[in-house]
């Protein structure tokens, strides 16, 4: 079985965006609507949005299951207040839940949280519990910068985040650390902010005692870990300067990297420097890069192809990356998809 | 000849830091000092700080010349106002100038600018001209985020930066795009902020018409280009989504990457995906990572060793990376060091 641990509902019917636009228009007058019930999306519309897109690609590429969450760039936690985010997260999660119900063999959910800059993170717990316990989701997406490129909330080692960590452990779910749209003109969303956030999150973990405090915590750092594997020597050296003799011991029982790296040399490097046990297959298909690479004739985001071509991995290691590691990190997967 | 294009005076005598501390203490009462003349550093102190450190390593590694600028993390442009930065930059540049006078065969300067957040960049021009014309410096360091991790100034494509670009072209010098210390708790300075800034700067160039407007502009993106080469497929794909068919044509006549990547797999990837003509040798020795890699027994920052070991480069390409490219990008080098 091949499990893609990083998919977003980027192809949701247009009514979703229209609803969000209306919500933003009435940010200061929410009594003018829209109501949650104003959003009308039929099962047929959902089916079509998936069958023609994500599911078609999964079939072409032999991918069995995708861990599926609301569109990351659409979370925009910086907009409005907690109530704005709470309503919006509930709508987006419910839509993903419907996808998982319509395609129960191919999709399982990961929850967007109703984060809002500066707001106590325990406000996220009801939505989180609903998604895990009622919708059968297996993970959350945690935005380390709800301010959207201004980085005004505390780093991940800070107690600000503890309510979410405690609940993750209680529910036995991992978090993918994933920012949303940048509203800072300096950062292009998918070309700079996403990758920067991955590197930043890794370094926040290295400089904190987070995993000593919460040894059961599991973080997936997406986009191949940002700049981290490419600069693995730098990070190993920085760790030693901080009197952390073994970066593996400090971080690699808790941190995992996905394979959303869109060329062969990048996947080669990732699998050369990061232990196979810490790598999870992912493609983020219908994400930042949708086109075909003219140099290869294949989709940039067809990461399965790159992984298959890696020389330095054994068959057993490839199976770990394609399936086994996901079953460990997203442990709730196993109930729905027995090995 | 081997030219290291990325060195900072990180080993300056302690009196320099004490002077800066005193300046910061009297930020609001500059009339209380310190005066520039209060800083006393003898030639012997400078000699010792270089001979025991940078020069010793250069000799061990067979590096002939280092392009040498004030310590990057020490620029801290976010502190005080323009006058604060102007005095501090002048002091730091003069100290580097003295290094280049004491060791004229081994060091040539690159200027720190007296940037200050939100301040018109034409205020930097007198210091820039002095360094190039009087001190014989061959480049500038340009901080794309003088706010120190808050990214409050405009992106590099904005006209805010044009006065500096016009002067760079007039003086025929390149800029290394290098941030300083992060005062945002989210970003570790050398583990996150530096690498993020490299990626961010590259993306700012991709999304602007900067090099169409200023075809003679030359940027060196340090630290191996941040996350860029590792995600080269992503950047090529993003460019195509923006209707930029050829990222090489758009950026690689103006952007260069250094080799400050501290392990063999990273240097292998850099040299595999980025054309040799766009790579310049550098080590940033006595920078972020000073220790020895226990896995190899050699210094993490001994990047010459990694480059020598790369299989995929011809001897001619290696010579370009070690010397020829630096002579093109830092064209003023040639007057002092004829080929």
Q: What is the structure's pLDDT at A222?
A: 98
Q: B262 CB near a chain A CB, below 8 Å?
A: yes
Enumerate the H helices of B62-81 as residue ranges.
none
pLDDT digits (tens, 9 = 90+) for A290-321: 999 999 999 999 999 999 999 999 999 999 99
Number of inter-chain CB pairs under 8 A, A vs B: 197
Q: A200 CB near a chain B CB, below 8 Å?
A: yes
Nearest to A235 among B191, B238, B290 (CB): B191
H/E segment holding residue A160 = none
Give yes or no for a contact between A206 and A248, defined as CB atoms under 8 angstroms apart.
Answer: no
Which residues on neighbouring strands pair with residue A219, listed in sequence order?
A175, A255
Interchain proximity B227–A232, CB inside 8 Å:
no
Report the C-alpha gap between A69 and A6 in whole angstroms. Answer: 8
B293 token code pair:
């890699």
Interchain proximity B190–A238, CB inside 8 Å:
yes
Q: How confident is residue A59, by pLDDT bands cut at 50, 70 and 90? A: very high
- pLDDT per position in chain B (339 positions), as tens? 999 999 999 999 999 999 999 999 999 999 998 999 999 999 999 999 999 999 999 999 999 999 999 999 999 999 999 999 999 999 999 999 999 999 999 999 999 999 999 999 999 999 999 999 999 999 999 999 999 999 999 999 999 999 999 999 999 999 999 999 999 999 999 999 999 999 999 999 999 999 999 999 999 999 999 999 999 999 999 999 999 989 999 999 999 999 999 999 999 999 999 999 999 999 999 999 999 999 999 999 999 999 999 999 999 999 999 999 999 999 999 999 998
Interchain proximity A151–B149, CB inside 8 Å:
yes
Residues A192-220 have a mean pLDDT of 98
Report the C-alpha gap between B179 and B62 in whole angstroms. Answer: 29
Give yes or no for a contact between B289 and A237, defined as CB atoms under 8 angstroms apart.
Answer: yes
- Residue A281, helix vs strand vs coil: coil
CA closest to B293 among chain A residues? A237
CB contacts of A275 in chain B (<8 Å) are none
Share of chain A above pLDDT 70, in %: 100
pLDDT digits (tens, 9 = 90+) for A270-284: 999 999 999 999 999
Give yes or no for a contact between B258 and B222, defined as CB atoms under 8 angstroms apart.
Answer: yes
Which residues on neighbouring strands pair with residue A67, listed in sequence order?
A108
**Secondary-structure breakdown of chain A: helix, strand, coil percentages, each rounded to the nearest 5:** 50, 10, 40
Q: Residue written as tokens 């602007």?
A: B208
Interface mutation target, options A156, A232, A237, chain B, most CBs of B under 10 Å: A237
Which residues on neighbouring strands pair with residue A111, listed in sequence order?
A140
Give yes or no for a contact between B93 and B138, defined as CB atoms under 8 angstroms apart.
Answer: no
Give yes or no for a contact between B5 and B280, defined as CB atoms under 8 angstroms apart.
Answer: yes
CB contacts of A196 in chain B (<8 Å) are 192, 195-196, 199-200, 227
Q: How confident is residue A22, by pLDDT bands cut at 50, 70 and 90? A: very high
pLDDT digits (tens, 9 = 90+) for B118-175: 999 999 999 999 999 999 999 999 999 999 999 999 999 999 999 999 999 999 999 9
Share of chain A above pLDDT 90, in %: 99
> Residues A46-73, buried b or exposed e (16+ Cβ, 10 A)?
beebbeebbbebbeebebebbbbbbbbb
Half-sphere exposure of A339 (CA within 13 A, CB side): 12
Nearest to A227 among B151, B226, B272 (CB): B226
B148 token code pair:
């120190």
CB contacts of B153 in chain A (<8 Å) are 186
Report the mean per-residue pLDDT for chain A. Answer: 98
H/E segment holding residue B175 = strand B175-177
Q: What is the structure's pLDDT at A331?
A: 98
- Residue B229, helix vs strand vs coil: coil
Residues 137-156 of A with CB under 8 A from B: 144-145, 149-151, 153-155
Q: Residue written as tokens 């009308």?
A: A40
Nearest to B187 by CA among B199, B177, B176, B175: B199
Interface mutation target, options A263, A274, A286, A297, chain B, most CBs of B under 10 Å: A263
Interchain proximity A227–B227, CB inside 8 Å:
yes
Nearest to A200 among B151, B187, B291 (CB): B187
Q: What is the structure's pLDDT at B160?
A: 98
Interface mutation target, options A193, A230, A250, chain B, most CBs of B under 10 Å: A230
Q: What is the structure's pLDDT at A322?
A: 98
Architecture label for domain A3-336: Alpha-Beta Barrel (3.20)
Complex ipTM > 0.85: yes
């Amino acid at each position: 079985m091949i499990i893609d641990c990083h998919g977003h509902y980027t192809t949701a019917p247009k009514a979703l965006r229209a609803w969000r636009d209306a919500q933003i228009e009435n940010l200061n007058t929410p009594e003018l609507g829209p109501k949650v019930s104003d959003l009308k999306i039929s099962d047929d519309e959902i089916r079509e949005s998936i069958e023609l897109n994500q599911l078609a690609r999964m079939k072409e590429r032999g991918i069995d299951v995708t861990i599926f969450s609301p569109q990351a760039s659409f979370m925009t936690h910086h907009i409005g207040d907690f109530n704005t985010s709470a309503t919006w997260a509930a709508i987006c999660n419910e839509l993903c839940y419907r996808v998982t119900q319509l395609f129960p063999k191919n999709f399982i959910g990961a929850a967007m949280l109703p984060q809002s800059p500066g707001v106590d993170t325990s406000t996220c717990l009801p939505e989180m519990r609903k998604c895990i316990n009622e919708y059968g989701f297996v993970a959350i997406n945690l935005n380390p910068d709800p301010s959207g490129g201004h980085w005004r909330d505390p780093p991940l080692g800070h107690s600000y985040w503890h309510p979410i960590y405690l609940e993750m452990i209680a529910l036995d779910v991992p978090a993918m650390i994933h920012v949303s749209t940048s509203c800072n003109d300096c950062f292009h969303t998918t070309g700079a902010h996403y990758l920067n956030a991955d590197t930043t999150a890794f370094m926040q973990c290295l400089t904190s005692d987070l995993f000593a405090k919460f040894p059961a915590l599991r973080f997936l750092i997406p986009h191949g870990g940002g700049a981290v594997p490419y600069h693995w020597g730098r990070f190993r050296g920085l760790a030693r300067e901080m009197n952390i003799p073994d970066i593996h011991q400090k971080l690699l029982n808790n941190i995992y990297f996905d394979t959303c790296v869109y060329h062969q040399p990048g996947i080669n490097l990732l699998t050369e420097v990061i232990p196979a046990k810490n790598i999870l297959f992912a493609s983020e298909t219908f994400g930042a890069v949708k086109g075909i690479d003219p140099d290869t004739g294949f989709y940039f985001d067809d990461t399965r192809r790159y992984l298959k071509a890696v020389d330095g991995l054994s068959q057993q290691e490839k199976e770990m990356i394609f399936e086994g590691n996901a079953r460990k990190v997203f442990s709730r997967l196993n109930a729905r998809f027995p090995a």
